Copies of this chain bind each other. A is one copy, B any other.
């Protein structure tokens, strides 16, 4: 096998270089090119356990071509899907070696000669999210970058395109809800879950929330109710013959969100009204979803899935940017909030360890560059 090293390819710092690649071309291209600053990046050369395969390295400058924008990253989160990409278990992932990270916020550092509408100093986010945000300088085509207002708290700008957008699109994309309707969800303490509660409440939609039985579940309930949850139940509270008897003045939900699977998904199905829809967007319990025949035939339930990655077509991406602006407005106004821990880049591996769940339950880790 040929030896492998980092090289410049098409504005990307990371690709395989085999020993037979002529080094000359690099020198020639660099001669007249506008170059980015060097970048410090979280790189992985192999798929595997993130805390063993990732390392922080310096990457050399890359060319900023006519349509490129060089962005100085300000902050980027560690999401579960980032971890899955590094592990190699995510269906869509960059080829290794790769820089980690998928969303984040940055400030425009320099622009190529053909770039319009973006200037140094602007805040931008990659939208749709785009791989390689765990580094100090990112160079990508101008179409990748969405300019946002600079008055949004940085950590919300860094995290809006995955979890809050998932919550919003799931509320919008499946059925038409109106004020007074209700939804039901499990995994309600997750960031998506917290966003669903708040976004539903803004629309006058009631939320019925299911959480795990665990130490601190009473506090978790109170926290979710402060965010606007109408009802919060632990799974064991729902071991009753008719879960709907627990709903006082809330109508039966037409829409449910499942990010757990197993019994927690069955509980969603029990709450749903005739003709209701359950959307699965995660499987935290690693258990499958089991459904009775009569749920489909007589109760007319529909089961669907949601994956943000699907929303990559031009039209949907454009629509998502409007949704993102709306979500960032809410975050700025304090109407959309969730817990995060902002961690300096130097402490990346501590943050990664927390994100991997090795230090118990921790808030979302957001790297500040």
Among residues of B, the one whose C-beta sits closest to the C-beta of A308 is B297
Among residues of B, the one whose C-beta sits closest to the C-beta of A92 is B298
Of the stretches A286-294, A321-329, A337-345, the one at the interface is A286-294
> Roughly how many angstroms separate A281 CA and B282 CA in the complex, as a whole number?
27
Pairwise interchain contact A290-B293, C-beta atoms closer than 8 A: no
Give the number of times this chain occurs in the complex, counting copies. Answer: 2
Q: In the complex, what residues of B have CB within 8 A of residue A298's CB?
A: 91, 305, 307
Instruction: Scan A284-322; emit 1 where CB is below 8 A from any B CB, else 0.
Output: 000011111111111111111111001000000000000
Q: In the complex, what residues of B have CB within 8 A of residue A305's CB?
A: 295-302
Pairwise interchain contact B296-A303, C-beta atoms closer than 8 A: yes
The winner among A91, A295, A297, A300 for most chain B CB atoms within 10 A is A297
Partner of A304, one of B290, B296, B310: B296
| Given the contacts A300-B305, A302-B302, A302-B304, A291 and B294 also touching, CB distance less than 8 Å | no
> Roughly how many angstroms separate A305 CA and B109 CA in the complex, as a whole number?
54
Pairwise interchain contact A288-B288, C-beta atoms closer than 8 A: no
Partner of A310, one of B291, B294, B300, B310: B300
> Roughly how many angstroms separate A305 CA and B300 CA in the complex, as a whole number?
6
> Roughly how many angstroms separate A303 CA and B290 CA in the complex, as a whole number?
12
Q: In the complex, what residues of B have CB within 8 A of residue A290's CB?
A: 288-291
Pairwise interchain contact A291-B293, C-beta atoms closer than 8 A: no
Q: How large is the interface on A (under 10, 10 to 19, 20 to 34, 35 or more residues)?
A: 20 to 34
Pairwise interchain contact B283-A289, C-beta atoms closer than 8 A: no
Q: In the complex, what residues of B have CB within 8 A of residue A91's CB?
A: 294, 298
> Roughly how many angstroms separate A307 CA and B295 CA in the complex, as a whole number?
11
Q: Is there a chain B Cβ closer than 8 Å to A261's Cβ?
A: yes
> Roughly how many angstroms separate A190 CA and B334 CA in the complex, as a whole number?
59
Q: Is there a chain B Cβ closer than 8 Å to A207's Cβ?
A: no
Per the 8 Å Cβ criterion, residues 249-292 of A in contact with B are 261, 279-283, 288-292
Closest-CB distance, A291 to chain B (whole angstroms): 5
> Roughly how many angstroms separate A304 CA and B278 CA in the complex, as a whole number?
11
Q: In the complex, what residues of B have CB within 8 A of residue A307's CB?
A: 297-298, 300
Pairwise interchain contact B288-A283, C-beta atoms closer than 8 A: no
> Roughly how many angstroms separate A297 CA and B305 CA in the complex, as a whole number?
5
Partner of A303, one of B261, B288, B303: B303
The winner among A283, A294, A296 for most chain B CB atoms within 10 A is A296
Closest-CB distance, A283 to chain B (whole angstroms): 3
The winner among A91, A280, A281, A305 for most chain B CB atoms within 10 A is A305
| Given the contacts A288-B290, A290-B289, A291-B291, A282 and B303 also touching, CB distance less than 8 Å | no
> Roughly how many angstroms separate A299 CA and B291 CA in the complex, as a whole number?
18
Pairwise interchain contact A292-B288, C-beta atoms closer than 8 A: yes
Q: In the complex, what residues of B have CB within 8 A of residue A282's CB?
A: 293, 297
Among residues of B, the one whose C-beta sits closest to the C-beta of A275 is B310
Among residues of B, the one whose C-beta sits closest to the C-beta of A265 is B293
Chain A residues within 8 Å of B, Cβ to Cβ: 91, 261, 279-283, 288-307, 310
21 contacts between A and B (CB under 8 A): A91-B294, A279-B296, A281-B297, A282-B297, A283-B292, A283-B294, A288-B290, A289-B293, A291-B303, A295-B305, A296-B306, A297-B306, A299-B305, A300-B305, A300-B307, A300-B310, A301-B305, A302-B302, A302-B303, A302-B304, A303-B303
Known: A283-B292, A288-B292, A302-B302. 5 other contacts (CB 8 A): A283-B297, A297-B305, A297-B306, A300-B307, A302-B304
